Chains A and B, each alone.
Chain A
Amino acid sequence: MTVSHLATQLPRFLTWYNAAFLVQAAALTLALSALGSIVGIVCGGGIAVLRRTTGWPLAPLRAVGILYVELFRRIPFLVTLLLVFYATQLGGYQMPLFAIGAVAVSLISTAYLAEIVRAGLASVHANQWHSAAVANFSLWQTLRLVVVPQAWPVILPPAFGFFVMFLKDTALASQIGVVELTYAGKTLNNRGFAPLLTFGAVLILYFAMSYPLTLLGRRLEARFARPRHR
């Protein structure tokens, strides 16, 4: 394959149809990542808070939370994906592929974000919890007004690092047939377009999605991390 070959293919590649196909796949990648990230923040945050509780009535739940986090952070994403895929088939019920992908990414992101949030909460000194407790703050008020605002600088950088990594990792969902961005590139390649063109386009779209995410992360970091004076 030569450069001239690519050049002759380019006009045929740059059609509305192909563009729409790729953008749609990119949207699916974004949707999968966004869904995973939102579920991850909510459920992972929940687990992180659960792990801060001390009373014995919640002890079994805490144990389950710890087991879950430690387990799912140690399984490759592909394995989780395939497990969810085959587990849903077990019941004889055909779940949409996107739903299977969404469940798998949510399982993974919950585990990772639980750990990121846990580290953030742990970075806030115990005396802040004590001060809130003696002034009758509820757990929720302590988190919202005192602890989480101080934990942001520790949570945000790894969280956004994770989001960007995660956006790329959803490519694995193609393994079960979800037409996300990487799969779309492969499909166009199979239709006869040069891999450099198709995957070049895929690269640009991944960058177009992840770079703004990085910028957003930096903005949030700058906003929430008040300059320290000592």
Chain B
Amino acid sequence: MPDLGIADLTAAYGGKRVLDRVSLHVGTGDVVGIIGPSGSGKSTLLRVLVGLLAPESGSVVLDGAPVDYRSKAQVRALRDRLAIVFQQYNLFQNMTALENVMIAPVRIKRRPRGEVRAQAIDLLGRVGLSERMHAYPDQLSGGQQQRVAIARALALQPEILLLDEVTSALDPELVGDVLAVIRGLAADGMTMLIVSHEMSFIRDVASRVVMMADGRIIEEGKPADFFRAPRTERAQAFVGRIRWHRD
């Protein structure tokens, strides 16, 4: 039962401050949609959370225990509970879809191969790729690769799933399949942090919306309230520019 507390998290990249005192709480079953203009720090927040970018200051507390990102052991323990799906899928190019899903549970988590294989086949079925499980990433479309990437993250049995603009690199006709998979996860009660530009999707799926700009959180609220009547000027301008479409 994850309970993730982020307080005053600050990070810099290449001498530029990319996260500025970000505070956020994610409870069990929360689906937090993180939106905002490009370069606002949304993806950076996820990268800091999984330890790909070291925070400068602030704290991340998981189930009451603060995470020290300088400690390899603590980052490993954290990554046992958090999984991330990247914008560019980042599948292992030298492995088939099935191998991509199985590799970490078998080789890193040391779970029995037979059990992992059954689970992996089940997961690939859930994302609609039973037919393509022996294909290599470069034989799959972007949307298919992204669904494999989601299955790979789920195979780690994470308590919190981080999704970093998972549809941004996809052709429009492929977005729907990926979003359908995520909707299914939300319905199953998966705790998620979703960075996305798909506003109608966030409005439907998220239990809470967080808007970021210039590395800061500038507004937070329930999707219905946020999109109908944003309080801050920045959010009003942002929401005003959204072109709603049915997905």
Residues of A within 8 A of B (CB): 127-128, 130-137, 141, 145-146, 149-150, 226, 228-230
Which residues on B sit within 8 Å (CB–CB) of A128? 90, 92-93
Contacts of B160 in A (CB 8 A): none
B88:A127 contact, CB within 8 angstroms: yes
Contact of B90 with A230 in the complex, beta carbons under 8 Å: no
Check B243 for interface membership: any CB of A closer than 8 A: no
- Across the interface, name the chain B residue whose C-beta is closest to A126: B90
Chain A interface SS verdict (over half): helix
Interface segment, one of B36-44, B79-87, B114-122, B203-211: B79-87
- Verify B52–A134 contact, CB threshold 8 A: yes
Residue numbers of B with Cβ under 8 A of A are 50-52, 76, 79-80, 83-84, 86, 88, 90-94, 103-104, 107-108, 136, 138-139, 156
- Looking at A135, A146, A226, A229, the one whose CB has the most chain B CB atoms below 10 A away is A135
How many angstroms from the CA of A123 to the CA of B181 in the assembled complex?
Answer: 33
Do residues B107 and A134 form an inter-chain contact, with CB atoms below 8 A? no
B79 contacts which chain A residues (CB < 8 A)? 134-136
State which of A137, A228, A230 has its C-beta within 8 Å of the C-beta of B108: A137
Contact B136 A226, beta carbon cutoff 8 Å: yes
A131-B80 Cα distance, complex, nearest whole Å:
14
Q: How far, in whole Å, are A228 and B93 apart by their CA atoms in the complex? A: 10
If the complex has contacts A145-B103, A229-B136, A229-B138, are A133 and B90 also in contact, measured as CB distance less than 8 A?
A: no
Q: A residues within 8 A CB of B94?
A: 146, 149-150, 226
Q: Contacts A141-B108, A229-B136: A136 and B90 contacting too (C-beta < 8 A)?
A: no
Query: Are the C-beta atoms of A131 and B86 separated by less than 8 Å?
Result: yes
Do A146 and B92 touch (CB < 8 A)?
A: yes
Q: Which residue of B lies closest to A144 (CB)?
A: B107
Contacts of A145 in B (CB 8 A): 92, 103, 107
Contacts of A226 in B (CB 8 A): 94, 136
Q: Are A133 and B52 in contact (CB under 8 A)?
A: yes
23 contacting pairs across A/B (C-beta < 8 A) = A127-B88, A128-B93, A130-B90, A132-B92, A133-B52, A134-B51, A134-B52, A134-B79, A135-B79, A135-B103, A136-B79, A136-B80, A136-B108, A137-B108, A141-B107, A141-B108, A145-B92, A146-B92, A228-B138, A229-B136, A229-B138, A229-B139, A230-B138
